[in-house]
Chains A and B, each alone.
Chain A
């Protein structure tokens, strides 16, 4: 049995029903991680996962109560803390950092008897859309190693699509789960802001960051997300998302006029239009107006760097692992440690963040972007009165070649154009694979739903998948 082809739910059932042991499963995935090391997707394998798998197997053998993910291997992005394990944010700055405590999401996964099997590559401090800004070397797309895996959770996406793990956890600040999921042909989700605790995850832009699973299939995605979700005393922004089932027999999908215009101006891809035609059998399709949605990306590149510059001030050469040599005073400790430790993209965003927050620019940029955020949120709320979800491509096209956009930051930023509005508005969004482009690489379809409407969004994604596969409903 090739476990790499199975979903989280299938593996969970096999283990729980004693068809296979967790040890066999974990050893299989460790072997695949070793064999596919060249992808640079998993940057460290936690070999003690085998011992933990044996413990879970014993629990099962003894007939003890087991958790909802008993024995299932899960990899975590390199910005998530797991006590006693290294965590580096793919940065030279943090190469010797050892987590002094465990993040809430890892606690929750462990409580359900999941096996944390390793950590995955990412863009440094989650800043990037290609998983090339990393001190471990670029991550390759498991579907074609000449192409990027997307980013910033590129390692998590490539690991799942390459069969290195059945599930990997990523973080999404502007599309960092959904864009790589789309480029790697898997399912990626960003829940309503506050659904998942950020405690023990290295902060990038705190008001936008959410963690979530990357999986092969829609059902496993929801299953793992529900385990990760919940109000947490350690994170004051968490909400009690009840995952209410406001399901319907037939859904209305909104096609956003402004986003589609932007898409068509830049892409000749016909897959989207063809797919919308097919969907008309099972969905009502309406056009929706979100006038300021195309301002989301510019707002994002003001708000996210502004928050990042504050969050990254803590990396000063005093508190965390790296201090530059030959420094004469405290100021030079700060400046030299930061200049040596941070990569190019991180420096770019720190500078941009300081610019938009600096005296004379704060009102024109930061305050204005916060108001635009409010406006976009209101406009989307209005749009959801006319539809259950908004449908759009996740990205302009498929994965691009390694190096292709590395020296053009603005082109790289545009990768997030369709994903960013969900972070700006705090609403849930999911990307599911739906077509293969001429270059043989997958395309992702994205759905936005109103806040706390995850159940409905997943149900729509499932109906969508059945429709495009031509299955009976």
Chain B
């Protein structure tokens, strides 16, 4: 599979032929730009940055949330308090 087609698959997107051609050109330029990170030499022992640690999290206890009806209020299709999708299992 071509790289762009693979990314379309991962992204759950599809492009028309012309869109794809334009996209390929733009994407190559953007990749050249972000490649400066891939080729950068970094000091040893550098950790990844993280905005929070596990110590910052609250205890895992159930808490009240918005009612199911309200949570579903923007669903395009719903039935019996659930999202309705095309048949998934035969």
Interface residues of chain A, those whose CB is within 8 Å of chain B, are 96-98, 100-101, 193-194, 207, 233, 236-237, 292, 295, 298-299, 301-302, 309, 313, 316-323, 327-331, 333-336, 338-339, 342, 347-348, 350-352, 354-356, 358, 364-365, 367-375, 377, 409-410, 413, 426
Contacts and interface: CB of A to CB of B under 8 A. Distances in A.
Contacts of A371: 42, 46-49
Interface in B56-90: 56-58, 66, 70-71, 73-77, 83, 85-88
A370 B40 CA distance: 13
Nearest to A342: B13
A351 B27 contact: yes
B34 A237 contact: no
B11 A100 contact: no
Interface string B12-42: 1111000000010011011101111110101
A321 B76 contact: yes
Contacts of B29: 409-410
Nearest to A409: B26
Contact of A330 (B13, B15, B77, B85): B85
Nearest to B51: A207
A127 to B, nearest CB: 13
- Which 8 A-B pairs have CB atoms at the shortest separation, nearest pair first? A370-B48, A323-B76, A374-B49, A373-B49, A354-B10, A100-B70, A334-B12, A364-B38
Given A342-B13, A351-B7, 13 more contacts: A207-B50, A298-B34, A318-B76, A328-B86, A330-B85, A333-B86, A354-B7, A354-B10, A355-B3, A369-B37, A371-B46, A375-B42, A410-B29
16 contacts: A100-B71, A100-B74, A236-B56, A298-B35, A320-B75, A323-B76, A327-B86, A328-B86, A335-B14, A339-B13, A342-B13, A368-B37, A374-B47, A410-B29, A413-B33, A426-B51
B37 A318 contact: no
Given A309-B11, A342-B13, A350-B13, A100 B30 contact: no
Contacts of B27: 348, 351-352
Contacts of A292: 40
A181 B26 CA distance: 28
Residue among B10, B37, B42, B85 with most chain A CB within 10 A: B37
A302 B34 contact: yes
A367 B47 CA distance: 10
Contacts of B47: 371, 374
Nearest to B12: A334
A365 B70 contact: no
A318 B76 CA distance: 6
Given A236-B52, A299-B37, A375 B46 contact: yes
A135 to B, nearest CB: 17
A312 B70 CA distance: 21
A380 to B, nearest CB: 12
B9 to A, nearest CB: 9
Contacts of A373: 48-49
Given A364-B38, A374-B49, A410 B33 contact: yes
A97 B74 CA distance: 6
A317 B7 contact: no
Given A100-B66, A352-B27, A410-B30, A347 B46 contact: no
B33 A333 contact: no
A101 B66 contact: yes
Given A101-B66, A237-B51, A351-B23, A365 B42 contact: no
A338 B11 CA distance: 9
A369 B52 CA distance: 17
B42 A347 contact: no
A298 B8 CA distance: 22
A347 B58 CA distance: 35
Given A236-B58, A367-B48, A375-B43, A295 B74 contact: no
B51 A194 contact: yes
Contacts of B52: 236-237
Contacts of B71: 100
A282 B48 CA distance: 39
Contacts of A194: 51
Contacts of A351: 4, 7-8, 11, 13, 23, 27
A354 B8 CA distance: 9
Contacts of A374: 46-49
Contacts of B83: 318-319
